[in-house]
Amino acid sequence: MHNSKLLRVLRQFTKSERKSITAFVQTSFQINNIKIRHLVEYLIENIDKGFKDEDQVFERKLIWMKISPETEYNYTYLRKIASDSIKAIEEFMIVDQLKGNVNLKTHLLLENSKVRENKLLQEIAIDRYEQNKSLFFSRRNSVNIYNTQILKNLFILKDLDKVRYQESGIDDIIFELDKFYITEKLKLLCDLLSRNWDLDVSEFTFFKQIIDEVGNNDKFNVPSIKVYYYIYLTYSDPEDINHYYNLKKLLLKHYAEFDEYESKSLFDATLSYGIAKVNKGDLTFLSEVFDLFKSSLKLGTILLNNKIESYHFKIIVMTGLRLSEYDWVEYFIEEYKNMIADEERENTSSYNLAMLHFYRKNFNNVLTLLQQIEYEDLTYNLGAKSMLLATYYELDEFEPLHSLLDSFKVFLNRKKSKIPSSTITNYQNLIKFTRRLLSINAGDETSLNKLEADINKSEGVASIKWLREKIEQLR
């Protein structure tokens, strides 16, 4: 089963999620083929032990002996068991999603009782709604299509001959529909703009109407709508930083009204605005981004399933280092490294700890840590090579530095199809300007000024701040 779809699917889950999948296939009454249970259990057990897809434990005939030792190997049947195992995992995902969604469960209960036309079941479903209704329209369930469905089913199930219009709930149904409709359209608009599409909203009448309605009607002054409205404004009018501050204020106050995934997405969008400002040279936003990262960590909104993305981990560390918050960065790495996905943890923690030691000028520690990094991830590969380059320079290790410059150039040429051309150019410039730096004697103002001018007029240079620092040291 080397490189099989089932193995790839199982590896996409965290270790704790795989544990839940094992429990599901062991107890689900829908899985009546014992071989499915044995196959999933065997694969998860060996994935968790750290075996790779090409290892012998995942050889088809060996797997067959483990799940069906009493019968002769049957490749076709093994494929069917694997296919059925994926269907079992799909069932797990559905049940897992349903388990935490009180709105959807209530909607399905009301819908089913309505279809069955059973008065007793309808009364039980309505009673269940009454017991839990405080959960539906507040906090993490504030905008949800199932809110509307719940209210509509209640409306249908009531004895309408005995209910006055004012008590029928029609107004609530319409308002929930409006909230859902507007929020979803704003989400779509923000998603389009986040992809850097050249989108003129005025060309889309339905978008323009919604923007005008939300901006001018207090009826829609609800967090679930306003937060996406302000995200839209940060995209459409980025020069007005008041949009960012309004978004940040609203999000910090109402973050708990969104589910974990949506809350993280909203913080990501807010952080993206600040990071873009920093990348364009507005370093006043560096502290702003750092504070928002710390708030997001405190509130848990940067986490998803209690995990932190390697990408965010790196940006948080880099932001703290640029602000010389070395002690805080050290605390962060130690406190949050175990929340990185298992397969990325060692690389991510070692790389970022190496960055901390580099900023503290503990260069020998940098070399030790970089040796622990596997270079399969191109982002870490490039970052580690540029850090190693600077570390060799700082330690006056010129022979390995020249060797690295040669191998780095070859690496970039070999990976051109997998790395954006602008990134390739940035690192090629780093190699070129480092070579020139090595050839200049201290105090050679003419050569140093020419190098500095060439760096400044280049479109992009990796580690440009470090290069400028080295030029100043040679003056």
Looking at the domain assignment, is residue 215 inside a domain? no
Asked whether 266 and 227 are in contact (CB, 8 A), the reply is yes
H runs (alpha helix) in 117-222 = 119-136, 145-157, 165-168, 170-194, 205-216
Pick the more confident residue, 306 or 167.
306
Looking at the domain assignment, is residue 429 inside a domain? yes
Which residue bears the tokens 């400028």? 468
Neighbours of 79 (CB within 10 A): 14
The helix-helix angle for 260-279 and 241-254 (nearest 10°) equals 150
Looking at the domain assignment, is residue 286 inside a domain? no
Looking at the domain assignment, is residue 442 inside a domain? yes
50 membership: H or E segment, kind and range? none
Tell me: do 409 and 381 sit in the same domain. yes
What whole-number distance in Å separates Cα of residue 90 and Cα of residue 86?
A: 6
User: Which of 18-22, 120-124, 150-154 shows the lowest mean pLDDT across its residues?
Assistant: 150-154
Looking at the domain assignment, is residue 138 inside a domain? yes
Tell me the DSSP string of 343-380: HHHHHHHHHHHHHHHHHTT-HHHHHHHHTT----SHHH
Question: What pLDDT, on a 0 to 100 scale, did the predictor assign at position 284?
Answer: 85
Looking at the domain assignment, is residue 57 inside a domain? yes
Produce one character per residue of 360-397: b if its CB has 16 or more CB atoms within 10 Å, e if not: eeebebbbebbeebeeebeebbbbbbbbbbbbbbeeeb
Tell me: do 382 and 466 sit in the same domain. yes
Tell me: do 52 and 144 sit in the same domain. no
Confidence of residue 1 (pLDDT cuts 50, 70, 90): low
Q: Is the pLDDT of residue 164 over 60?
A: no
Per this entry, what is the length of the chain?
A: 475
What whole-number distance in Å separates Cα of residue 375 and Cα of residue 381?
A: 5
Which residue range is the domain that position 117 belongs to?
104-168
Which residue bears the tokens 């999603």? 97
Mean pLDDT confidence for 445-453: 92
What's the domain count of the chain?
A: 3
Confidence of residue 143 (pLDDT cuts 50, 70, 90): low
Contacts of 344 (CB under 8 A, 6+ apart): 310, 377
Tell me: do 88 and 108 sit in the same domain. no
Tell me the DSSP string of 278-300: HHTT-THHHHHHHHHHHHHHHHT
Tell me: do 25 and 118 sit in the same domain. no
pTM: 0.70
Mean pLDDT, the chain, whole residue set: 84
SS3 call for 143: coil
Mean pLDDT confidence for 338-353: 88
Mean pLDDT confidence for 234-260: 88
Asked whether 18 and 10 are in contact (CB, 8 A), the reply is yes
For 176-217, what is each residue's pLDDT tens digit?
A: 777 777 888 888 777 777 766 555 656 666 677 777 777 777
Question: What pLDDT, on a 0 to 100 scale, did the predictor assign at position 188?
Answer: 79
For the chain, what percentages of helix, strand and coil (3-state, to nearest 5) are there? Answer: 75, 0, 25
Looking at the domain assignment, is residue 263 inside a domain? no
Residue 285 buriedness (CB in 10 A; 0-12 / 13-18 / 19+): buried
Tell me: do 390 and 475 sit in the same domain. yes
Of 99, 117, 147, the residue at which a domain comes to its end is 99
Return the closest-CA partner of residue 97 out of 89, 353, 423, 42.
89
Question: What pLDDT, on a 0 to 100 scale, did the predictor assign at position 235?
Answer: 84
Tell me: do 153 and 126 sit in the same domain. yes
Tell me: do 95 and 125 sit in the same domain. no
162, amino acid identity = K
Q: Kindly list the distances between the CA atom of residue 71 and the CA atoms of 35, 60, 64, 77, in Å, as whole numbers in the listed order.
A: 12, 14, 9, 11
For 286-335, what is each residue's pLDDT tens digit?
A: 999 999 999 999 999 998 888 899 889 999 999 999 999 999 999 999 99
Tell me: do 92 and 135 sit in the same domain. no
Question: What pLDDT, on a 0 to 100 scale, did the predictor assign at position 432?
Answer: 94
Of 99, 129, 152, the residue at which a domain comes to its end is 99
Tell me: do 396 and 459 sit in the same domain. yes
Tell me: do 387 and 468 sit in the same domain. yes
Contacts of 84 (CB under 8 A, 6+ apart): 33, 36
Residue 44 buriedness (CB in 10 A; 0-12 / 13-18 / 19+): buried
Looking at the domain assignment, is residue 77 inside a domain? yes
Residue 283 buriedness (CB in 10 A; 0-12 / 13-18 / 19+): exposed
For 11-46, what is each residue's pLDDT tens digit?
A: 988 888 899 999 998 887 666 688 899 999 999 999
Confidence of residue 140 (pLDDT cuts 50, 70, 90): very low
SS3 call for 304: strand
User: Which of 114-123, 139-148, 438-447 shows the lowest mean pLDDT across its residues?
Assistant: 139-148
Tell me: do 88 and 156 sit in the same domain. no
Residue 103 buriedness (CB in 10 A; 0-12 / 13-18 / 19+): buried
Of 125, 144, 168, the residue at which a domain comes to its end is 168
Mean pLDDT confidence for 115-143: 65
